[in-house]
Amino acid sequence: MSQTDQQVEEGFVSYVTPQQVYVKFASTSNINIGDTLYIQEQDFFTAVLLVKNKSSISCVCEIIPGKEVKISQRILAKTKESTQDEGIKADKPISVPESASEVIEPINLQSQLQPKKLSQTFSGRLSLASYTNISSSSSDISQRMRYTFSMKAGNIRGKRLSAETYLSFSHKDHRWDEIKEDIFNGLKIYKLALQYQINERHSVWFGRRINPRISQLGASDGVQYEARMNQFTTGLVAGSRPDNVNYSINTKLFQYGAYISHEMPLKKGNIQSSMAFIEQKNNGQTDRRFAYLQHSNTILPNVFLFGSVEFELYQKVNEIKSNKVTLSNTFFSIRYKAFKQLSLSLSYSARQNIIYYETYKTLIERLLETESTQGYQFQANYRPVNKITMGIRAGYRNRKSDLKPSKNLYSYISVSQLPWIHSGGLISATFLETSYMKGTVYSAGLTKDLMQGKINGTLTYRNVLYNYYSGEFTQRQNIAELSLGWRLAKKLMLSANFEHTFEKKSSNHRIYLSITQRF
């Protein structure tokens, strides 16, 4: 059996519609349909997208209610990379994820205990990627290069010392002056940390790291301590959060927090609850203080329940400080597997603006006036026969200031193995309505393995129509996309993606090339 290590995959938003978001990665081999994708929002590891389809280097995603993303925005995926190498396989049957939520899966405490016999482990990845945009309406060609390096070394030389790192460097053509002015305009350090395992139950981290048990804190430059005892886990975090502008070290942004977690295993599943308190500073003044509660369980047969809430514990308005407790974020979801072929899920979210009272003190009044956003989402997946999957997803989002609520409906049929051509196929339709437009997106795609699995190819066509209420403007697009993944060697992967968008008066080309070496 293979072992797995948590990794962070980095991609970028290549195309956005009101209903769907297309994200390019160097490789999607470790990303699964149903996964949650994240952004660094206000220094928080925030869930924004759900993967509902993918090719070798591209993910088609749905926006989580209340979230927004932009073209070229950096997207992160938490993955588990297998240390056992496998050949390229055809994409699994396309299906809507059973869990459409910001669910953080419970962590198995026993599996994290340090083994008595320490053996060194090592894994890593080095990649080079090029993003090129060509538009018929402009003579300029936009190109961006990105280099990434990630590494995880466990029990170095048989000792209790481990290390993790994830670095990225990017630059645009003709924009080297920005890099010369500040290296951190191109260099991003997402993880650079050392761990010392004191014993089987106590460990300490030094450096920059996002603690998965207290991810609402975001990345922290400093010290993190964790202790485990039976079914309980407690921890402390102290350090500074990265700079708000260029993600460099900023000791003025001091932060600290504490958490406690309890996990009780059941015959099938478990019960997990956790609580965290976090304080964030700016120049010694309180920027934000909040608490986070989370609970999940599988007590009922075939039912998974999840809920989380955030409470703000500090306010500062017109120089008047208050410790008034206010609810800022709520999320609940329930997933029910009615029988083997049918699964249902329902989720609810409500979110207020997150306010940093010192960092954004000139915008406090405007931020306080922003209304909460509420959203509901329902989905159903059904597999009538072995190789066919179909499903629907309906979403509703409302804010009082909107002229009308946002609604969307996505439906699909997927066939894992089409006769004669031996390829996977997917057809889908998306209908959406917001306060400013109506739209439809029709899509069809084929996925096929070539050369005994060494090459994986995906061909996709999308027909897009948007009707904007303002000025009665209509936008039509025909989009063709070809994705190829070629395993040149056991751990060497070449990926290419070509996308062409046809419009009435213009056309756009997007080219993505990457080469990745694992070790």
DSSP for 130-195 reads: EEEEEETT-S-EEEEEEEEEEEEEESGGGSSEEEEEEEEEEEETT-HHHHHH-GGGTEEEEEEEEE
Structure tokens at 398: 């409302």
The C-alpha atoms of residue 324 and residue 178 are separated, in whole angstroms, by 43
Phi then psi for residue 17, to 5 deg, are: -125, 165
What's the pTM?
0.71
pLDDT of residue 112: 46
pLDDT of residue 96: 34
Going by their DSSP bridges, the two strands 326-339 and 303-312 should be labelled as antiparallel
Q: Is the pLDDT of residue 367 over 60?
A: no
Sequence spans of domains, the chain: 4-518
Q: Tell me the range of 83-92, 114-123, 303-312 where mean pLDDT is highest.
A: 303-312
Structure tokens at 357: 């009272």
pLDDT of residue 393: 92
Structure tokens at 138: 């402009």
The C-alpha atoms of residue 15 and residue 271 are separated, in whole angstroms, by 39
Structure tokens at 426: 């997917």
pLDDT band (50, 70, 90) for residue 396:
very high
Among the listed residues 204, 288, 192, the one whose alpha carbon sits nearest the alpha carbon of residue 248: 192
pLDDT of residue 454: 84
Among the listed residues 197, 226, 213, 219, the one whose alpha carbon sits nearest the alpha carbon of residue 275: 213
pLDDT band (50, 70, 90) for residue 258:
very high
Strand pairing partners for 202? 227
**Average pLDDT value for the chain:** 82
Contact 333, 100 (CB under 8 A): yes
Q: Specify the 3-state DSSP secondary structure of 368.
A: helix
How confident is the model over 105-115, as pLDDT tens digits? 444 444 444 44
The C-alpha atoms of residue 512 and residue 133 are separated, in whole angstroms, by 9
Q: Which CATH class is domain 4-518?
A: mainly beta
pLDDT of residue 141: 82
How confident is the model over 276-331, as pLDDT tens digits? 999 999 999 999 999 999 999 988 889 999 999 999 999 887 788 889 899 988 99
pLDDT of residue 81: 44
Q: Is the pLDDT of residue 1 over 60?
A: no
Please calculate the CA angle 302-308-310 and round it to the nearest 5 degrees. 175
Cα dihedral 23, 28, 33, 37, rounded to 10, equals -50
* Alpha carbon separation from 224 to 107, 118, 189, 308 (Å, rounded): 18, 22, 18, 23
Half-sphere exposure of 351 (CA within 13 A, CB side): 20
Q: Is the pLDDT of residue 101 over 50?
A: no
pLDDT of residue 5: 44
The C-alpha atoms of residue 470 and residue 476 are separated, in whole angstroms, by 16
pLDDT of residue 7: 64
Q: Is the pLDDT of residue 260 over 70?
A: yes
Among the listed residues 326, 308, 7, 292, the one whose alpha carbon sits nearest the alpha carbon of residue 149: 7
DSSP output for 13-70? EEEE-SSEEEEEES--TT--TT-EEEEEETTEEEEEEEEEEE-SSEEEEEEPTT----
Helix H or strand E segment including 338 = strand 326-339
